Amino acid sequence: SDLQKQEERGELLQPLIFVLLVLCSILLYFKVSLMDPGFVKPEEEAKEGEDKGQGVVIPQLPGDIKLRRCGYCLVKQPMRAKHCQQCQHCVRRYDHHCPWLENCVGERNHPLFIAYLSVQLVVLLWGGHVAWSGLYFEQSREWLQHNIFLLVSFLLILIFTIVVLLLLVSHLYLISCNTTTWEFMSHHRISYLRHSELENPFDQGIILNLWRFFC
C-alpha cells in the first residue's frame, strides 16, 4: 500500500518525530504547571546561612543578616525563598510566577521549565518551517483567499518563536550567573544581596553554575 511504501522510504519518520515532540511539550507543560515548585512547608526549619537548593553556604554574606519569618504564611524563609501572593506559599529559590502555567517557577520545577521552553522552541521552529514551505507568493486576491490561514499561522508561529527564544536565552543567561529573575529584577530590595560585598555572592563560574542547576 501507499502507507507501507512511505514507511519504507522513511517519509513517515519526520511526522512521527514532530508528533512526539508536541506530545512531549504538552506533558512537560502539565508537569511544570501541576508540580510543587518548592513550597516551604510550615514544619520545615531553614538553617541560617544555607541555600538548601544549591547545598552551598555563602560565607560572604554579612553576619547580621538573619533568616526571617514570612509575614504572610509565618514560615522561616530559607535563603533565596520568596512568598508568592498568587500561590499563597513561600517558594524555595523563587524565580517568578508564570501566568501561562498558573504556577511558580522555583527550585524543583525550574530545570523542567527550561526543558519545556527548549522543546517548545524546536516545535515552533519546525512548525514555522512547514508553514513557510507551503507558501508560494502571488500578488492576487485569489492567492490571499486560499493562503490566508497558512499566512496567519506562520505569523503567529513567528511571534511565539521570538517570545520563547528570548525567554529561553534570558533564563539560560541568569542560570549561568546563578541568579534568578526575582533577584535580577529586585537586587536593590533583597537584604542578602543589598548588603553583600559581592554583586552576586552565589556566582561560582559558568560551568559550576550550570552543573549545579541541571545536575
Kindly tell me the number of DSSP H helices and DSSP E strands found in the chain.
7, 6
The Cα–Cα gap between 83 and 62 comes to 23
Half-sphere exposure at residue 160, Cβ-oriented, CA atoms within 13 angstroms = 17
List, in order, residues 6 or more apart from 100 with CB less than 8 Å away.
none
Strand ranges inside 34-125, DSSP E: 50-51, 56-57, 82-84, 89-91, 96-98, 103-105
Look-up: residue for cell 512547514? 130
The Cα–Cα gap between 126 and 14 comes to 10
By the 8 A CB rule, do 32 and 113 touch?
Answer: yes
The Cα–Cα gap between 56 and 201 comes to 11
- 98 as an active site residue: the answer is yes
Phi, psi of 74, rounded to the nearest 5 degrees? 65, 20
Which among 70, 73, 87, 98 is annotated as catalytic?
98
Catalytic residue ranges: 98
